[in-house]
Amino acid sequence: MGMTDCGDIRQSGLRSKEVVVCSEVTSTRLGLSAAQLQQTGGGFTAQEISQQPAIWQQLAAEFASKETVLRSWLQPLLMLPDLRIIFTGAGTSAYIGQTVVPHLINKLPLAGQRVEAVSTTDLVSHPELYLTPELPTLLVSFGRSGNSPESVAALQVVDALVEQRFHLMISCNADGQLARFAAEQPHCALWLLPDACHDRSFAMTSSFTGMLLATLLLFAPDASALQQAVLLSEQVLQQHQQIRQLAQTPCRRMVFLGAGCLKGIAQEAALKYLELTSGQIGSYFESPLGFRHGPKSLVDAHTQIVLLKSTDPYSQQYDLDLVQELQADGRAQAITVLDVAQWQALLPAATPVSVIADVWTAFPYIVYCQTLAFYKALQLGISPDNPCPGGEVNRVVQGVTIYPLPEPMPNQMPSGQATSTNSGFTAARGNR
Protein backbone atom coordinates (compact mmCIF):
# COMPACT_ATOMS: atom_id res chain seq x y z
CA MET A 1 0.00 0.00 0.00
CA GLY A 2 1.48 3.35 -1.02
CA MET A 3 1.91 5.94 1.69
CA THR A 4 1.43 9.68 1.43
CA ASP A 5 4.33 12.07 1.65
CA CYS A 6 3.71 14.00 4.85
CA GLY A 7 5.30 17.15 3.53
CA ASP A 8 2.45 17.59 1.06
CA ILE A 9 -0.05 17.58 3.90
CA ARG A 10 1.92 20.00 6.02
CA GLN A 11 2.50 22.61 3.39
CA SER A 12 -1.03 23.10 2.09
CA GLY A 13 -3.23 25.74 3.69
CA LEU A 14 -5.20 28.97 3.24
CA ARG A 15 -2.73 31.48 4.60
CA SER A 16 -4.93 34.50 3.85
CA LYS A 17 -7.42 33.37 6.50
CA GLU A 18 -4.96 32.71 9.30
CA VAL A 19 -5.57 33.94 12.83
CA VAL A 20 -2.61 36.11 13.77
CA VAL A 21 -0.56 34.98 16.77
CA CYS A 22 0.49 38.02 18.79
CA SER A 23 3.60 38.16 20.96
CA GLU A 24 2.00 40.71 23.28
CA VAL A 25 -1.47 41.68 24.43
CA THR A 26 -2.80 44.59 22.40
CA SER A 27 -6.58 44.44 22.78
CA THR A 28 -9.43 43.64 25.15
CA ARG A 29 -10.10 39.94 25.72
CA LEU A 30 -12.78 38.36 27.90
CA GLY A 31 -13.81 41.80 29.12
CA LEU A 32 -10.31 42.74 30.30
CA SER A 33 -8.19 45.51 28.83
CA ALA A 34 -4.72 44.90 27.48
CA ALA A 35 -3.26 46.57 30.56
CA GLN A 36 -5.30 44.35 32.91
CA LEU A 37 -4.27 41.23 31.03
CA GLN A 38 -0.62 42.21 31.17
CA GLN A 39 -0.87 42.95 34.89
CA THR A 40 -2.58 39.65 35.72
CA GLY A 41 -0.44 37.49 33.45
CA GLY A 42 -3.40 36.23 31.48
CA GLY A 43 -2.94 37.70 28.02
CA PHE A 44 -2.09 34.55 26.10
CA THR A 45 -4.74 32.45 27.82
CA ALA A 46 -7.44 35.05 27.21
CA GLN A 47 -6.47 35.34 23.55
CA GLU A 48 -6.33 31.58 23.05
CA ILE A 49 -9.75 31.06 24.60
CA SER A 50 -11.35 33.95 22.70
CA GLN A 51 -9.93 33.11 19.28
CA GLN A 52 -11.31 29.57 19.13
CA PRO A 53 -14.43 30.14 16.98
CA ALA A 54 -12.27 31.94 14.40
CA ILE A 55 -9.63 29.20 14.59
CA TRP A 56 -12.26 26.53 13.86
CA GLN A 57 -13.43 28.36 10.77
CA GLN A 58 -9.85 28.74 9.57
CA LEU A 59 -9.21 25.06 10.22
CA ALA A 60 -12.30 24.02 8.26
CA ALA A 61 -11.24 26.24 5.36
CA GLU A 62 -7.74 24.75 5.34
CA PHE A 63 -9.18 21.25 5.45
CA ALA A 64 -10.80 21.86 2.07
CA SER A 65 -7.31 22.03 0.57
CA LYS A 66 -5.93 19.11 2.59
CA GLU A 67 -8.89 16.75 2.38
CA THR A 68 -8.04 14.98 -0.86
CA VAL A 69 -4.50 14.15 0.26
CA LEU A 70 -5.56 13.06 3.74
CA ARG A 71 -8.44 10.91 2.53
CA SER A 72 -6.34 9.26 -0.17
CA TRP A 73 -3.99 8.13 2.61
CA LEU A 74 -6.74 7.13 5.04
CA GLN A 75 -9.29 5.49 2.75
CA PRO A 76 -7.32 2.30 1.99
CA LEU A 77 -6.89 1.75 5.73
CA LEU A 78 -10.63 2.04 6.28
CA MET A 79 -11.10 -0.84 3.85
CA LEU A 80 -9.19 -3.24 6.12
CA PRO A 81 -11.96 -5.42 7.62
CA ASP A 82 -10.32 -5.84 11.02
CA LEU A 83 -8.77 -2.39 11.35
CA ARG A 84 -8.28 -1.13 14.88
CA ILE A 85 -8.09 2.64 15.41
CA ILE A 86 -6.52 3.88 18.63
CA PHE A 87 -6.75 7.58 19.51
CA THR A 88 -3.95 8.49 21.87
CA GLY A 89 -2.28 11.36 23.66
CA ALA A 90 -1.25 12.41 27.15
CA GLY A 91 -3.32 14.53 29.53
CA THR A 92 -5.58 16.92 27.63
CA SER A 93 -4.59 15.30 24.34
CA ALA A 94 -5.86 11.95 25.62
CA TYR A 95 -9.29 13.43 26.31
CA ILE A 96 -9.78 14.16 22.61
CA GLY A 97 -10.02 10.43 21.97
CA GLN A 98 -12.30 9.92 24.95
CA THR A 99 -14.61 12.59 23.54
CA VAL A 100 -14.80 11.36 19.94
CA VAL A 101 -14.79 7.58 20.39
CA PRO A 102 -18.39 7.27 21.65
CA HIS A 103 -19.48 9.26 18.58
CA LEU A 104 -17.43 7.16 16.14
CA ILE A 105 -18.16 3.65 17.45
CA ASN A 106 -21.05 3.10 15.04
CA LYS A 107 -19.66 5.17 12.17
CA LEU A 108 -16.82 2.94 10.94
CA PRO A 109 -17.49 1.50 7.46
CA LEU A 110 -17.04 -2.20 8.29
CA ALA A 111 -18.59 -4.23 11.12
CA GLY A 112 -15.33 -5.90 12.19
CA GLN A 113 -13.52 -2.62 12.78
CA ARG A 114 -13.18 -1.01 16.18
CA VAL A 115 -12.19 2.35 17.59
CA GLU A 116 -10.76 3.00 21.04
CA ALA A 117 -9.16 5.69 23.16
CA VAL A 118 -5.98 4.68 25.01
CA SER A 119 -3.67 7.29 26.50
CA THR A 120 0.02 7.23 25.63
CA THR A 121 0.72 7.01 29.36
CA ASP A 122 -1.10 3.65 29.39
CA LEU A 123 0.31 2.41 26.08
CA VAL A 124 3.89 3.05 27.15
CA SER A 125 3.68 1.58 30.65
CA HIS A 126 1.50 -1.47 29.80
CA PRO A 127 1.78 -2.11 26.05
CA GLU A 128 0.97 -5.82 26.36
CA LEU A 129 -2.50 -4.96 27.73
CA TYR A 130 -3.48 -2.73 24.82
CA LEU A 131 -1.74 -3.93 21.64
CA THR A 132 -2.50 -6.98 19.49
CA PRO A 133 0.34 -7.77 17.06
CA GLU A 134 -1.81 -9.45 14.39
CA LEU A 135 -4.45 -6.70 14.12
CA PRO A 136 -3.79 -3.87 11.64
CA THR A 137 -3.69 -0.75 13.79
CA LEU A 138 -3.99 2.93 13.01
CA LEU A 139 -2.56 4.99 15.86
CA VAL A 140 -3.94 8.55 15.79
CA SER A 141 -1.60 10.62 17.98
CA PHE A 142 -2.50 14.05 19.33
CA GLY A 143 0.08 16.49 20.61
CA ARG A 144 0.22 20.24 21.05
CA SER A 145 4.01 20.36 21.07
CA GLY A 146 4.55 16.82 19.83
CA ASN A 147 7.42 16.58 22.31
CA SER A 148 5.93 14.71 25.26
CA PRO A 149 8.22 11.76 26.02
CA GLU A 150 5.30 9.31 26.12
CA SER A 151 4.01 10.48 22.72
CA VAL A 152 7.24 9.58 20.97
CA ALA A 153 7.63 6.35 22.94
CA ALA A 154 4.09 5.25 22.05
CA LEU A 155 4.97 5.43 18.36
CA GLN A 156 8.01 3.27 18.92
CA VAL A 157 6.15 0.77 21.08
CA VAL A 158 3.51 0.29 18.41
CA ASP A 159 6.17 -0.08 15.72
CA ALA A 160 7.93 -2.70 17.81
CA LEU A 161 4.88 -4.76 18.71
CA VAL A 162 2.33 -4.48 15.88
CA GLU A 163 2.96 -6.13 12.53
CA GLN A 164 0.81 -3.87 10.32
CA ARG A 165 0.69 -0.39 11.81
CA PHE A 166 0.04 3.10 10.55
CA HIS A 167 0.39 6.48 12.21
CA LEU A 168 -1.64 9.65 11.77
CA MET A 169 -0.26 12.57 13.76
CA ILE A 170 -2.43 15.59 14.48
CA SER A 171 -0.21 18.24 16.02
CA CYS A 172 0.29 21.99 16.38
CA ASN A 173 4.08 22.16 16.20
CA ALA A 174 6.00 21.82 12.94
CA ASP A 175 9.25 21.43 14.88
CA GLY A 176 8.00 18.79 17.31
CA GLN A 177 9.14 15.18 17.48
CA LEU A 178 5.78 13.89 16.22
CA ALA A 179 6.22 15.96 13.05
CA ARG A 180 9.81 14.79 12.61
CA PHE A 181 8.83 11.15 13.13
CA ALA A 182 6.15 11.48 10.46
CA ALA A 183 8.61 12.97 7.99
CA GLU A 184 11.03 10.07 8.44
CA GLN A 185 8.65 7.09 8.29
CA PRO A 186 6.81 5.74 5.20
CA HIS A 187 3.74 4.52 7.12
CA CYS A 188 2.83 7.93 8.58
CA ALA A 189 0.81 11.01 7.76
CA LEU A 190 0.84 14.36 9.53
CA TRP A 191 -1.87 16.96 9.82
CA LEU A 192 -0.23 20.11 11.10
CA LEU A 193 -2.75 22.60 12.47
CA PRO A 194 -2.52 26.41 12.13
CA ASP A 195 0.17 27.99 14.26
CA ALA A 196 -2.45 29.82 16.34
CA CYS A 197 -3.46 26.41 17.72
CA HIS A 198 0.01 26.06 19.27
CA ASP A 199 -0.90 27.70 22.58
CA ARG A 200 1.70 29.95 24.14
CA SER A 201 0.07 29.73 27.54
CA PHE A 202 0.47 26.87 30.01
CA ALA A 203 -2.97 25.30 29.53
CA MET A 204 -4.19 23.73 26.31
CA THR A 205 -7.23 25.58 24.94
CA SER A 206 -7.08 26.33 21.20
CA SER A 207 -4.92 23.26 20.69
CA PHE A 208 -7.47 20.98 22.36
CA THR A 209 -10.47 22.17 20.37
CA GLY A 210 -8.42 22.46 17.19
CA MET A 211 -7.29 18.83 17.33
CA LEU A 212 -10.80 17.75 18.34
CA LEU A 213 -12.27 19.51 15.32
CA ALA A 214 -9.61 18.10 12.99
CA THR A 215 -10.59 14.59 14.09
CA LEU A 216 -14.27 15.21 13.44
CA LEU A 217 -13.61 16.80 10.04
CA LEU A 218 -11.72 13.71 8.99
CA PHE A 219 -13.80 10.95 10.55
CA ALA A 220 -17.34 12.40 11.01
CA PRO A 221 -17.78 15.78 9.28
CA ASP A 222 -20.95 17.78 9.82
CA ALA A 223 -20.82 21.30 8.36
CA SER A 224 -24.14 22.37 9.88
CA ALA A 225 -23.16 21.20 13.36
CA LEU A 226 -19.81 22.97 13.07
CA GLN A 227 -21.48 26.22 12.14
CA GLN A 228 -23.78 25.96 15.14
CA ALA A 229 -20.82 25.12 17.40
CA VAL A 230 -19.12 28.32 16.21
CA LEU A 231 -22.22 30.48 16.80
CA LEU A 232 -22.93 28.94 20.20
CA SER A 233 -19.33 29.39 21.34
CA GLU A 234 -19.43 33.02 20.26
CA GLN A 235 -22.62 33.32 22.32
CA VAL A 236 -20.82 31.83 25.34
CA LEU A 237 -17.96 34.30 24.99
CA GLN A 238 -20.45 37.16 24.99
CA GLN A 239 -21.68 35.91 28.37
CA HIS A 240 -18.28 36.33 30.00
CA GLN A 241 -19.60 38.62 32.73
CA GLN A 242 -22.03 35.95 33.99
CA ILE A 243 -19.25 33.36 33.94
CA ARG A 244 -16.99 35.73 35.83
CA GLN A 245 -19.65 36.24 38.52
CA LEU A 246 -19.70 32.49 39.19
CA ALA A 247 -15.91 32.42 39.39
CA GLN A 248 -15.88 35.32 41.85
CA THR A 249 -17.74 33.22 44.42
CA PRO A 250 -15.19 31.51 46.69
CA CYS A 251 -15.37 27.71 46.67
CA ARG A 252 -13.22 24.78 47.72
CA ARG A 253 -14.40 22.10 45.30
CA MET A 254 -15.57 22.08 41.69
CA VAL A 255 -17.37 19.20 39.99
CA PHE A 256 -17.95 18.77 36.25
CA LEU A 257 -20.51 16.19 35.14
CA GLY A 258 -21.08 14.80 31.64
CA ALA A 259 -21.90 11.48 29.99
CA GLY A 260 -21.15 9.83 26.66
CA CYS A 261 -18.98 12.16 24.57
CA LEU A 262 -19.37 14.80 27.26
CA LYS A 263 -17.61 12.74 29.92
CA GLY A 264 -14.32 13.42 28.13
CA ILE A 265 -15.21 17.12 28.13
CA ALA A 266 -16.04 16.99 31.84
CA GLN A 267 -12.63 15.42 32.47
CA GLU A 268 -10.87 18.08 30.41
CA ALA A 269 -12.85 20.82 32.19
CA ALA A 270 -11.79 19.43 35.57
CA LEU A 271 -8.15 19.34 34.51
CA LYS A 272 -8.30 22.87 33.11
CA TYR A 273 -9.78 24.15 36.38
CA LEU A 274 -7.17 22.28 38.43
CA GLU A 275 -4.30 23.55 36.28
CA LEU A 276 -5.35 27.20 36.15
CA THR A 277 -6.04 27.32 39.89
CA SER A 278 -2.63 25.71 40.53
CA GLY A 279 -4.30 22.94 42.49
CA GLN A 280 -5.72 25.29 45.11
CA ILE A 281 -9.26 24.06 44.41
CA GLY A 282 -10.01 20.35 44.10
CA SER A 283 -11.77 19.60 40.82
CA TYR A 284 -13.53 16.38 39.92
CA PHE A 285 -15.45 14.83 37.04
CA GLU A 286 -17.98 12.02 36.65
CA SER A 287 -21.04 11.03 34.68
CA PRO A 288 -24.40 12.09 36.16
CA LEU A 289 -25.35 8.48 36.88
CA GLY A 290 -21.89 7.59 38.17
CA PHE A 291 -21.86 10.57 40.54
CA ARG A 292 -24.36 8.86 42.85
CA HIS A 293 -22.06 5.86 43.32
CA GLY A 294 -19.81 7.41 45.92
CA PRO A 295 -18.42 10.66 44.46
CA LYS A 296 -21.55 12.58 45.47
CA SER A 297 -20.31 12.35 49.06
CA LEU A 298 -17.87 15.21 48.39
CA VAL A 299 -20.67 17.76 47.91
CA ASP A 300 -20.84 20.35 50.68
CA ALA A 301 -21.63 24.03 51.10
CA HIS A 302 -18.31 24.95 49.43
CA THR A 303 -18.87 22.85 46.28
CA GLN A 304 -19.87 24.20 42.88
CA ILE A 305 -21.24 21.82 40.25
CA VAL A 306 -21.37 22.28 36.48
CA LEU A 307 -23.44 19.77 34.51
CA LEU A 308 -23.02 19.42 30.73
CA LYS A 309 -26.53 18.61 29.52
CA SER A 310 -26.92 16.16 26.66
CA THR A 311 -28.95 17.09 23.59
CA ASP A 312 -30.31 13.54 23.34
CA PRO A 313 -33.89 13.49 24.72
CA TYR A 314 -33.42 10.06 26.28
CA SER A 315 -30.02 10.74 27.85
CA GLN A 316 -30.92 14.15 29.22
CA GLN A 317 -33.55 12.59 31.45
CA TYR A 318 -30.71 11.21 33.57
CA ASP A 319 -29.02 14.62 33.61
CA LEU A 320 -32.16 16.36 34.85
CA ASP A 321 -32.92 13.67 37.44
CA LEU A 322 -29.57 14.30 39.08
CA VAL A 323 -30.01 18.07 38.96
CA GLN A 324 -33.36 17.74 40.74
CA GLU A 325 -31.78 15.44 43.32
CA LEU A 326 -28.90 17.83 43.99
CA GLN A 327 -31.30 20.75 44.30
CA ALA A 328 -33.43 18.76 46.74
CA ASP A 329 -30.35 17.86 48.79
CA GLY A 330 -29.61 21.55 49.22
CA ARG A 331 -25.95 20.94 49.96
CA ALA A 332 -24.11 22.34 46.92
CA GLN A 333 -23.10 25.99 46.87
CA ALA A 334 -24.13 26.37 43.21
CA ILE A 335 -25.44 24.11 40.45
CA THR A 336 -24.98 25.31 36.87
CA VAL A 337 -26.56 23.43 33.96
CA LEU A 338 -25.01 24.13 30.56
CA ASP A 339 -27.72 23.71 27.92
CA VAL A 340 -27.12 24.51 24.25
CA ALA A 341 -30.88 24.75 23.68
CA GLN A 342 -30.98 27.79 25.95
CA TRP A 343 -28.05 29.36 24.10
CA GLN A 344 -29.69 28.65 20.74
CA ALA A 345 -32.72 30.64 21.91
CA LEU A 346 -30.46 33.68 22.36
CA LEU A 347 -29.21 33.61 18.75
CA PRO A 348 -30.70 36.04 16.21
CA ALA A 349 -34.16 35.00 15.07
CA ALA A 350 -33.07 34.26 11.50
CA THR A 351 -30.31 31.88 12.59
CA PRO A 352 -31.05 28.29 11.51
CA VAL A 353 -30.77 25.97 14.50
CA SER A 354 -31.28 22.25 15.02
CA VAL A 355 -30.41 19.58 17.55
CA ILE A 356 -26.72 18.76 17.28
CA ALA A 357 -24.95 15.66 18.56
CA ASP A 358 -23.25 15.87 21.93
CA VAL A 359 -19.79 15.68 20.37
CA TRP A 360 -20.47 19.08 18.75
CA THR A 361 -21.84 20.63 21.94
CA ALA A 362 -18.39 19.83 23.33
CA PHE A 363 -17.09 23.02 21.71
CA PRO A 364 -19.29 25.65 23.43
CA TYR A 365 -19.27 23.64 26.66
CA ILE A 366 -15.49 23.53 26.92
CA VAL A 367 -15.21 27.22 25.98
CA TYR A 368 -17.49 27.97 28.94
CA CYS A 369 -15.40 25.80 31.27
CA GLN A 370 -12.10 27.26 30.04
CA THR A 371 -13.43 30.77 30.64
CA LEU A 372 -14.64 29.81 34.12
CA ALA A 373 -11.21 28.41 35.00
CA PHE A 374 -9.54 31.55 33.63
CA TYR A 375 -11.62 33.85 35.84
CA LYS A 376 -11.17 31.61 38.87
CA ALA A 377 -7.40 31.88 38.45
CA LEU A 378 -7.72 35.67 38.46
CA GLN A 379 -9.97 35.54 41.54
CA LEU A 380 -7.24 33.58 43.34
CA GLY A 381 -4.47 35.93 42.18
CA ILE A 382 -2.89 33.27 39.95
CA SER A 383 -1.40 33.99 36.52
CA PRO A 384 -3.40 31.95 33.97
CA ASP A 385 -0.46 32.00 31.54
CA ASN A 386 1.90 30.51 34.12
CA PRO A 387 -0.03 29.09 37.09
CA CYS A 388 2.94 26.99 38.29
CA PRO A 389 5.95 29.35 38.20
CA GLY A 390 7.90 27.05 40.50
CA GLY A 391 8.04 24.40 37.77
CA GLU A 392 6.24 21.65 39.71
CA VAL A 393 4.18 21.10 36.55
CA ASN A 394 5.48 22.10 33.12
CA ARG A 395 3.89 23.13 29.85
CA VAL A 396 5.60 20.13 28.25
CA VAL A 397 6.18 17.23 30.63
CA GLN A 398 9.75 16.78 31.85
CA GLY A 399 11.59 14.21 33.89
CA VAL A 400 10.07 11.08 32.29
CA THR A 401 12.40 8.14 31.71
CA ILE A 402 11.36 5.82 28.88
CA TYR A 403 12.62 2.28 29.51
CA PRO A 404 13.49 -0.34 26.89
CA LEU A 405 10.90 -3.06 26.34
CA PRO A 406 11.72 -6.30 28.14
CA GLU A 407 13.02 -9.22 26.07
CA PRO A 408 10.88 -10.89 25.07
CA MET A 409 7.52 -9.14 25.47
CA PRO A 410 4.55 -11.56 25.68
CA ASN A 411 3.28 -10.29 22.32
CA GLN A 412 6.47 -8.97 20.75
CA MET A 413 7.06 -9.59 17.06
CA PRO A 414 9.93 -11.89 16.09
CA SER A 415 13.30 -10.24 15.77
CA GLY A 416 13.76 -8.35 12.52
CA GLN A 417 10.09 -7.50 11.91
CA ALA A 418 10.05 -4.27 13.90
CA THR A 419 11.22 -1.08 12.23
CA SER A 420 12.57 0.44 15.43
CA THR A 421 14.70 -1.25 18.05
CA ASN A 422 14.44 -1.07 21.81
CA SER A 423 17.58 1.04 21.95
CA GLY A 424 15.66 3.75 20.13
CA PHE A 425 13.40 4.21 23.13
CA THR A 426 16.11 6.03 25.05
CA ALA A 427 16.01 8.82 22.49
CA ALA A 428 12.81 10.10 24.09
CA ARG A 429 14.32 10.22 27.57
CA GLY A 430 14.13 13.69 29.06
CA ASN A 431 12.73 15.31 25.91
CA ARG A 432 10.33 18.16 26.52
CATH of the domain at 217: 3.40.50.10490
Q: Are residues 170 and 192 in the same domain?
A: yes
Q: Are residues 117 and 256 in the same domain?
A: no
Q: What is d(CA 169, CA 172) in angstroms, rounded to the nearest whole number? A: 10
Q: Is 191 helix (H, G, I), strand (E, B) or coil?
A: strand
Q: Are residues 264 and 360 in the same domain?
A: yes
Give me the pLDDT at residue 419, please: 35
Report the number of distinct structural domains present in the chain.
Answer: 2
pLDDT tens for 196-213 read 999 999 999 999 999 999
In a domain, 8, yes or no: no
Q: What is d(CA 167, CA 87) in angstroms, rounded to the nearest whole number? A: 10
Residue 78 has pLDDT above 60, yes or no: yes
Q: Are residues 92 and 184 in the same domain?
A: yes
Residue 22 has pLDDT above 90, yes or no: no
3-state helix, strand, coil in the chain (%, to 5): 50, 10, 40
Q: Are residues 374 and 240 in the same domain?
A: yes
To the nearest whole percent, how much of the chain has pLDDT over 70?
Answer: 86
Q: Are residues 71 and 97 in the same domain?
A: yes
Give me the pLDDT at residue 13, please: 31
Where helices occur in 51-148 by DSSP H, the ranges are 52-74, 92-104, 120-125, 127-130
In a domain, 169, yes or no: yes
Question: Distances in Å between the alpha carbon of 311 and those of 12, 21, 344?
Answer: 36, 34, 12
**How confident is the model over 228-243, as a mean pLDDT?**
97
Q: Are residues 70 and 95 in the same domain?
A: yes
Q: Are residues 320 and 359 in the same domain?
A: yes
Q: Are residues 387 and 402 in the same domain?
A: no
In a domain, 38, yes or no: no
**Residue 373 contacts residue 240 (beta carbons within 8 Å):** no
The C-alpha angle 264, 269, 271, rounded to 5 degrees, equals 95
User: If we measure between CA atoms, which residue out of 99, 56, 43, 19 comes closest to residue 357?
Assistant: 99
In a domain, 77, yes or no: yes
pLDDT tens for 85-141 read 999 999 999 999 999 999 999 999 999 999 999 999 999 999 999 999 999 999 999
Give me the pLDDT at residue 432, please: 28
Q: Are residues 267 and 184 in the same domain?
A: no
In a domain, 19, yes or no: no
Residue 375 has pLDDT above 90, yes or no: yes
Residue 389 has pLDDT above 90, yes or no: no
Give me the pLDDT at residue 251, please: 97
Binning pLDDT at 50, 70 and 90, where does residue 23 land? Answer: very low
In a domain, 6, yes or no: no
Q: What is d(CA 93, CA 430) in angstroms, rounded to the nearest whole number? A: 19
Query: Which domain covers residue 253, as residue numbers?
Result: 222-393
pLDDT tens for 399-409 read 789 999 988 76
Q: Is 80 helix (H, G, I), strand (E, B) or coil?
A: coil
Element (H, E) at 17: none
In a domain, 24, yes or no: no
Q: Are residues 280 and 382 in the same domain?
A: yes
Residue 417 has pLDDT above 70, yes or no: no
Tell whether pTM > 0.85: yes
Q: What is d(CA 40, CA 186) in angstroms, rounded to the nearest whole number? A: 47
Give me the pLDDT at residue 412, please: 58
Q: Are residues 152 and 108 in the same domain?
A: yes
Let me know if 88 is exposed, middle or buried by CB neighbors in 10 A (0-12, 13-18, 19+). Answer: buried
In a domain, 15, yes or no: no
pLDDT tens for 252-305 read 999 999 999 999 999 999 999 999 999 999 999 999 999 999 999 999 999 999
Q: How many CA atoms lie within 13 A of 342 on its CB side?
A: 10
